[in-house]
């Protein structure tokens, strides 16, 4: 256990030294937005870990409490400093007001003051346990105000992580996302250590695992600065920009801040508020561009913007990454005035669109006319013109493949009396009712048509005469039931059906028509409301 204690003290001391090295690295990049807050954080981590190493090494309650107070002095700056750094570094808030900074530190400073005066009120530590002779750990019994400080820290930490996740979603380029991922990990690790310390998960009562988490956090941020270009701001040379070219030019650094522009840009967009160090994304939002064009550091982004104030202007904006010696420097934004060409193009597109609409209308009209030419307007079934052609083709195919084909000829019984008794409107409704039944109860391969008047034809490819008979009988029963249920009819209406079949009866359309007609006549002779296959002995 002594070895573990020695290792723990060394880790805390090493973290303190590493934090000072990190402070120096950040100081070298002090021109980066938010770097001053990150330096405060690095120095606070150094104080916290050094104080914890001395706290762990102390052998008396008085000294342990004394160095714990110094730990609080370091802790009070960590999350407020990190939060302000994130806000300024990612450009979430420009020019953070002193009043807001003071308000952010009110609770942490109050906790530090209460910790240093704890002997008078016991609001931070209500008492202390015995020092463990083996681990040299002492349990601190926390007072009422300790929980208040912890809640504040956790709320601020959750807001900080949520803000970082938002930035991770916002920035699509891998280099920025990698930096954010490292930073989220660095913020989360000390929190996890603190959770272990405050809960029953702690394997050693009194052991604060937060310094262990802060060790890994400092290592991650240090590696991120030295290896992954974190906090790096490479200046973009002005000689990359041709100040005299007619197109508007804007140069944006790797932190998405405006660092240069040419006079042509101010002439092209006079209402554009350009300031050195301004957020390029916010300038694009002023132009009406909601999507951030600076997400990719590998591919160019092309955007078209239309401006009406002070005068109508159409701009073609190209956002291209600047890369020197395989290192990403920022973006070059070119504003090209495309007003005349775009207006001419739009006029041509409008004319083409009108022409396409006319052609589409003509095509729809042709389809409609074609449908009208082959459809019966009352029932929506095919007409005889279409049926004759289709029947001929299907019969040829049946003969070639040696497949049967059946023809049903349907007639509404006493249809003339229906018209005479109930009127032609009711007669039309009876025809429409039969048409709907034919559409719904037959296969897609079957074809139904209105032959004329109250007569209908149904072609059933692939069916033998007995199969066709069963289908016809089902149709007859269906129509009979429908006529009973029809509210517009005051008397039952029935149908008679005659059937002919290839190869049973004939091998040509004319004879099949004739035989189906004779079969229908036989059904009428036998009393109507029935199905008949042609039988020459009944003639």
Provide DSSP, 495-517.
EEEEEEEETTT-SSHHHHHHHHH
- Whether the pLDDT of residue 187 is over 70: the answer is yes
The Cα-based distances of 61 to 47, 72, 137, 375 in angstroms read: 20, 17, 10, 102
Domains 238-337 and 384-538 share a fold: no
Cα dihedral 145, 147, 149, 155 in deg (nearest 10): -150
- Whether the pLDDT of residue 490 is over 80: the answer is no
- Whether the pLDDT of residue 411 is over 90: the answer is yes
List the strands of the sheet with 258-261, edge to edge.
Answer: 258-261, 248-253, 327-337, 313-324, 301-307
- Whether the pLDDT of residue 52 is over 60: the answer is yes
pLDDT tens column, 224-266: 776 666 665 333 333 333 445 677 888 888 888 887 777 777 7
Cα dihedral 121, 124, 125, 131 in deg (nearest 10): -140
Provide DSSP, 266-302.
HHHSTT----TT-BHHHHHHHTT--S-TTS-SSS-EE
Q: Binning pLDDT at 50, 70 and 90, where does residue 305 land? A: confident
Read off the pTM.
0.45
Q: CA 273, CA 286: separation in Å to the nearest integer?
A: 9
Tell me the pairing of strands 495-502 and 531-533.
Answer: parallel
Q: Please state, for a pLDDT cut of 90, what percent of the chain lies above it.
A: 18
CATH code for 2-227? 1.20.1070.10
Q: If you average pLDDT over every residue of the chain, what do you get?
A: 81
CATH topology of domain 238-337: Beta-Lactamase (3.30.450)
Task: Return the higher-pLDDT residue of 459 and 209.
Answer: 459
pLDDT tens column, 193-235: 777 777 767 677 667 777 776 777 777 777 777 666 666 533 3
Q: Long-range contacts made by residues 274-277, C-beta under 8 angstroms, separation at least 24?
A: 274/250
Q: Where are the domains of the chain?
A: 2-227, 238-337, 384-538
- Closest-CA residue to 72 (of 138, 131, 153): 153
pLDDT tens column, 360-382: 777 777 766 666 667 888 888 88
- Whether the pLDDT of residue 468 is over 80: the answer is yes
Q: CA 123, CA 145: separation in Å to the nearest integer?
A: 5
CATH code for 384-538? 3.30.70.270
CB 401 within 8 A of CB 509: no
């Amino acid at each position: 256990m002594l070895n573990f204690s020695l290792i723990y003290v060394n880790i805390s001391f090493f973290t303190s030294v590493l934090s000072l090295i990190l402070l120096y690295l950040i100081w070298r990049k002090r021109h980066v937005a938010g770097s001053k807050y990150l330096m405060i954080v690095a120095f606070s981590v150094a104080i916290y870990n050094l104080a914890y190493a001395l706290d762990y090494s102390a052998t008396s309650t008085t000294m342990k409490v004394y160095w714990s107070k110094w730990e609080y002095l370091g802790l009070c700056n960590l999350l407020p400093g990190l939060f302000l750094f994130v806000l300024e570094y990612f450009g979430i808030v420009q020019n953070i007001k002193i009043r807001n900074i003071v308000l952010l530190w009110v609770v942490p400073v109050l906790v530090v003051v209460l910790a240093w005066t704890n002997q008078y009120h016991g609001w931070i530590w209500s008492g202390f346990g015995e020092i463990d002779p083996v681990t040299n750990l002492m349990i601190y019994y926390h007072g009422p105000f300790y929980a208040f400080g912890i809640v504040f820290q956790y709320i601020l930490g959750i807001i900080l992580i949520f803000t970082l996740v938002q930035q991770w979603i916002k920035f699509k380029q891998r280099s920025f996302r990698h930096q954010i991922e490292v930073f989220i990990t660095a913020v989360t690790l000390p929190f996890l250590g603190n959770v272990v310390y405050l809960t029953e998960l702690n394997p050693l009562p009194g052991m604060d695992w937060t310094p262990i988490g802060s060790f890994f956090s400092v290592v991650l941020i240090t590696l991120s600065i030295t290896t992954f270009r974190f906090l790096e701001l490479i200046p973009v040379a002005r000689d990359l920009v041709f100040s005299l070219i007619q197109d508007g030019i804007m140069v944006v650094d790797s932190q998405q801040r405006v660092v240069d522009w040419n006079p042509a840009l101010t002439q092209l967009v006079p209402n554009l508020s350009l300031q050195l160090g301004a957020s390029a994304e916010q300038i694009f939002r002023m132009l009406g561009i909601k999507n951030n064009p600076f997400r990719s550091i590998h591919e160019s982004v092309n955007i078209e913007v239309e401006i009406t104030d002070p005068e109508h202007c159409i701009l073609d904006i190209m956002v291209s990454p600047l890369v020197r010696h395989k290192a990403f420097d920022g973006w070059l934004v070119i504003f090209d005035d495309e007003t005349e060409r775009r207006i001419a193009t739009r006029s041509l597109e409008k004319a083409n669109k009108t022409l396409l609409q006319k052609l589409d209308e003509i095509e729809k009209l042709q389809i409609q006319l074609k449908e009208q030419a082959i459809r019966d307007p009352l029932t929506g079934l095919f007409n005889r013109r279409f049926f004759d052609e289709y029947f001929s083709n299907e019969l040829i195919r049946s003969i070639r493949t040696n497949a049967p084909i059946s023809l049903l000829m349907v007639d509404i019984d006493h249809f003339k009396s229906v018209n005479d008794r109930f009127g032609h409107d009711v007669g039309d409704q009876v025809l429409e009712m039969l048409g709907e039944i034919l559409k719904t109860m037959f296969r897609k391969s079957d074809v139904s048509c209105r032959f004329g008047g109250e007569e209908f034809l149904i072609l059933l490819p692939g069916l033998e005469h007995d199969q066709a008979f069963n289908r016809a009988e089902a149709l007859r029963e269906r129509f009979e039931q429908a006529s009973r249920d029809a509210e517009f009819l005051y008397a039952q209406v029935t149908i008679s059906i005659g059937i002919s079949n290839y190869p049973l009866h004939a091998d040509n359309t004319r004879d099949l028509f004739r035989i189906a007609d004779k079969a229908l006549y036989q059904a009428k002779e036998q009393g109507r409301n029935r199905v008949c296959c042609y039988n020459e002995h009944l003639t």
